[in-house]
């Protein structure tokens, strides 16, 4: 017997909030990002602003939910509240905001809040709409 075993659409609960997930972005990751876009990474150090692109990732959600093959990003929306800086603690809190079926296709709305520093100030909110095939 084979096949995929993981989190099915019906097992995902709207309103569920997962435990805070540490978001570790170090100087090497920042240097790799700048190299990727063809910019110099010579001035990277504590206090360097982290681009929102590096804050927007699904590891926190994937650490709690096993994705089936074929998950697609249908839409993504980012809302910025402030900057995150290299050297400060970052966490991601994931919440299942909604799920719905449209034209026979299953979708999840997942909100990912990124918070920074000891005071956990709001930095970024990402709303992912994911096509969930099974």
> Does the pLDDT at position 45 exceed 70?
yes
Q: Note whether residue 2 is domain-resident.
A: no
- Which of the two residues, 53 and 105, has the higher pLDDT score? 105
Token duo for residue 81: 């509240």
For Cα atoms 118, 34, 39, give the angle at the middle one, nearest 5 degrees: 135
**Residue 4 has what pLDDT?**
73
Average pLDDT, the chain: 92
Q: Which helix (H) or strand (E) holds 127?
A: strand 121-131
Q: Note whether residue 1 is domain-resident.
A: no
Distance from C-alpha of 7 to C-alpha of 24, rounded to nearest angstrom: 26
Q: How many CA atoms lie within 13 A of 87 on its CB side?
A: 6
Distance from C-alpha of 115 to C-alpha of 112, rounded to nearest angstrom: 10
Q: Note whether residue 9 is domain-resident.
A: no
**Range of 87's domain?**
14-131
Q: Note whether residue 3 is domain-resident.
A: no
Percent of the chain with pLDDT over 70: 97
Token duo for residue 125: 């909110």
- Give the residue from 63, 56, 125 showing the smallest Cα distance to 97: 125
Distance from C-alpha of 119 to C-alpha of 121, rounded to nearest angstrom: 6
- pLDDT category at 44 given cuts 50, 70, 90 is confident
pTM of the model: 0.89
Q: Note whether residue 65 is domain-resident.
A: yes
Distance from C-alpha of 85 to C-alpha of 12, rounded to nearest angstrom: 33
Here the CATH number for the domain that contains residue 58 is 3.10.129.10
Residue with tokens 């709305």: 109
Q: How many domains does the chain have?
A: 1
Q: Note whether residue 108 is domain-resident.
A: yes
Q: Note whether residue 84 is domain-resident.
A: yes
- pLDDT category at 1 given cuts 50, 70, 90 is very low
pLDDT digit string (tens) for 62-98? 999 999 988 999 999 999 999 999 999 999 999 999 9
**Residue 34 has what pLDDT?**
85
Q: Note whether residue 7 is domain-resident.
A: no
């Amino acid at each position: 017997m084979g096949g995929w075993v993981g989190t099915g659409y019906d097992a995902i609960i709207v309103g569920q909030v997962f435990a805070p997930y540490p978001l570790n972005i170090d100087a090497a990751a920042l240097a790799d990002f700048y190299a990727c876009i063809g910019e110099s990474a010579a001035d990277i150090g504590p206090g360097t602003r982290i681009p929102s692109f590096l804050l927007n990732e699904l590891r926190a959600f994937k650490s709690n939910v096993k994705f089936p093959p074929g998950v697609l990003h249908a839409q993504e929306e980012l809302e910025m509240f402030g900057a995150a800086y290299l050297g400060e603690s970052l966490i991601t809190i994931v919440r299942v905001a909604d799920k719905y079926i449209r034209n026979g296709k299953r979708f999840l709305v997942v909100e990912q809040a990124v918070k920074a520093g000891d005071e956990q100030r709001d930095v970024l909110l990402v709303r992912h709409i994911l096509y969930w095939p099974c």
